[in-house]
Structures are given as structure tokens and as C-alpha cells.
Amino acid sequence: MRRVWIISCCLNSLFLFRAGEVKAEEPITHPAAEPKVKSAGTTGVDMYADANLKLSSSDPSIVQQGAKEFRTVFERLLKHGFSSDDITSLKHPFDAKQYDLVYELALNALTQKALKVDREEACLTWMIQARLSTGKPEDALSLAKSLYCVCRMEKTKDAIEAICNCLYEVHKNDDPNIVRRFRAQQLQGTVATSATQPAQLSEPSILDSIKIDPKPFESALAKARIAATRRPAWLGDLLLISGQAKEAEEMYRKMLAMSTEHDVYLNAVSGVARSIRAQDGTVGRANQFIVEQRLQAQDGNADSK
């Protein structure tokens, strides 16, 4: 009974995203707010001190030296003792306008090892900012859709904002109303009556028109397939990031069916919900799936009394 009660309580507060969290107006904030990752300690922070000091220099040659040292520390810690602080520390080369370095290091962190979803979100957000800052809004838009597909349900709003920023940059001259229409579709898509039927949109989905470039993630996806029996969530998340949501849902549903511990169960529910959101391009059916899982947990709790 205790296990079912824990599952029910967690699902009550876990990852529901509601219609009121999408604003119908069209404010654009560019660049996007820097990623916020909960600190996991101070591991590695002091190791960046010399590099960060050089990155803040007004001398371009010293900045380049700082960038090189930063890369060395980051890549060393990525192999041994990597933490949330290391992702947050990308702010220093970003502020020094070392955008290509930020993109490369964030991609390395995202693809070289299994990360928790909040760290995946942070890596993708840095990659989006880096591409926007180097005048590559189409690349940033592709990454923003990856963020939408993989992020936690409660972070859907942040992913929508990232997509809005990128849509604005891509279409500000040829389709200035696209951000408003995209927001309206996301509001419309919060309504679904079942976990099998997505909400109906009044016009073709704008999110569907955004294509994800899977190439940056191909090598990591190949490694994750080999390690799938030990780390299925890593494969599932990389499938979502790469735009292969249907396969991700199948994998997460198998994980759900085989789960015997509540942490695994919750991760599987989250994975299925995120996969549904990625396929629909809206949250309605994914929310409904979570509600149905919560009701099943509550029924199981009642039956066990």
C-alpha cells in the first residue's frame, strides 16, 4: 500500500502543464534567459577560476587562452566528477562571446553520458542561445523543438518560450504573426478528452513544420542503443531529442510495464507523457495520460486497503 500511495502523491504534483501557463500575448525576450540548474555542490568550480578570469579580460589573446583552459577543465570533469555546476559555468565563455565553444561543450555534455532531464534541458538551452547569438536561428529553432520534446512536463512553458524566440528570429520578416499563432495553438492543444485522441487544432500545426536535425545526436544514439538494457531512459531521451518520439514512447511503455519500483514507474510515466507531447505537438493528451495514471494509482491504493 505504501508504494501505491507514494506513486499517487508523486503523480499529483509531478508534471502537469496547464493552459493558463501559456500567455496569448506575444512578448519576445531575446536572448532567452540563461539556464537555471540546481547546484549539486561545488565540484570543479574552483578549477575554472583561472580560465574564467582570463575569459573576462579585454585582451582577445588572453580570452582565447582562457577559452582553451576552460575547455580542458570542462572536458576533464565531463569524464570524472561532472556536475550541474559545470553546465552552469558555461555562462563564463558565453559572456565572453565564445559561442561556438559553448555550443560544442554543451553538445558534448549532452551526448557523451547519460544526464538527468534537467541537465539535458540546460545543455539544449545553452546550445539554442549559442546558435541565436551566432546568427543561426534555423539551427536554434531545431534545437528548441528538441527541448520541447524532451523537457519535463512542468517545463513545457520554458520550451514554448524558446520556440517563440526562435520563430521570431526566423520569421520576423516573412511571417511576423507566427509567434501569436503558435501560442494560440499551444493554448488550443491543452484540451484533450482522452489519452488516445489529441486535441484538434484549427490550422496545421506550426510545431510539426519545424524539423529536428538528428545529426548532432547520431553517435550518442548509437551508444545509447547498445546500453539500452542498463540505461533505457538515456536512449528514450535521446530518441526524443532526435525527433523519434514514436520509438521513444514504445520504449517507455515497455519500461512502464516492467517497472517494479516507484522511481522507475515515475520515470516511465514521465517518458510516455513526454513522448505523447512530442508526437502531438501539444500537451493535452499527455496531461490526460498522467491523470489516468494517477487515477489508476489511487484505485490501486483503495483496493489494497
Q: What's residue 32's pLDDT?
A: 47
What lies within 8 Å, CB to CB, of 297 at 6+ separation is 4, 7, 8, 11
Q: What's residue 295's pLDDT?
A: 84
Q: What's residue 22's pLDDT?
A: 57
Helix (H) or strand (E) holding 161: helix 156-171
Percent of residues, the chain, with pLDDT higher than 90 = 69
Amino acid identity of residue 304, one-letter, is S
Q: What's residue 299's pLDDT?
A: 59
Residue ranges with strand state E in the chain: none
Q: What's residue 301's pLDDT?
A: 52
Given a cut of 50, the residues of the chain with pLDDT beneath it are: 1-15, 19, 24-33, 36-43, 302
Q: pTM to 2 decimals?
A: 0.86
